[in-house]
Amino acid sequence: MCHRQLRFIKSTGCGHLTFTGETNIDCRSRHCHLSTAHPSSCGSPRAPCNCKRYYGQPQRITTNEVSSPLES
């Protein structure tokens, strides 16, 4: 299932996460409407496409850790 990678910077003092960006990850499944592998011809007027149309749980990635100003 397609999902998002969320990138954060973490404060070592309080553990607060600051969002810095996101990347969409393609699952490459024909049965996922969000995937580039999903055929554009899927479904018809009588039987519309019922493939998955939602992202799975995001993957949270801490890219850096910084000390907070209050730690000094």
Percent of the chain clearing pLDDT 90 (strictly above): 83
pLDDT of residue 24: 96
pLDDT of residue 70: 62
Task: Answer whether residue 71 shows pLDDT above 60.
Answer: no
Phi, psi of 70 (to 5 degrees): -75, -15
pLDDT of residue 62: 96
CA 48/CA 70 separation, integer angstroms: 56
Q: Encode the chain in three state secondary structure.
A: CCEEEEEEEEECCCCCEEEEEEEEECCCCCCECCCCCCCCCCCCCCCCCCCECCCCCCEEEEEEEECCHHHC
pLDDT digits (tens, 9 = 90+) for 3-40: 999 999 999 988 899 999 999 999 999 999 999 999 99
